[in-house]
Amino acid sequence: MAYKQAGTLREALDSFDTEAIRLFGRHFGQMTATRKHDRIAKILKFLEGDGLKYAIDHLDELSRKALAQAVYDRKGYFDEQIFRARYGSVPERGWFDGDPDSLLNLFIIQEH
């Protein structure tokens, strides 16, 4: 399965449901906002500056390799089949693997 690169992070976050945004927010400190739009704004603000480094640093090694594959792909895609062939498995991605707030989902967005 290939994952398409989203236009912007805001667009990608808007595609997630409110519960997923709430779970993502747990990575970025106390989330006092209650509206989805406000939570997305807080996540985006956090990712400015050192927040992006924090998010990448908290990915496991396999997830970092997946991110690198997507970043260096000419079309910005993450291809699970190619990744699995190269590394023997794919990182846990959340909704399919029981970890809906995986930070990797902030970087590699599956089209709904």
- Which helix (H) or strand (E) segment holds residue 87: the answer is helix 80-87
Residues 6+ apart with CB under 8 A from 42: 25, 28, 31, 33
pLDDT tens per residue, the chain (112 residues)?
444 455 778 888 888 888 888 877 777 776 677 888 998 998 888 888 788 888 889 889 999 999 999 888 888 788 889 999 999 998 876 644 445 567 787 777 665 4
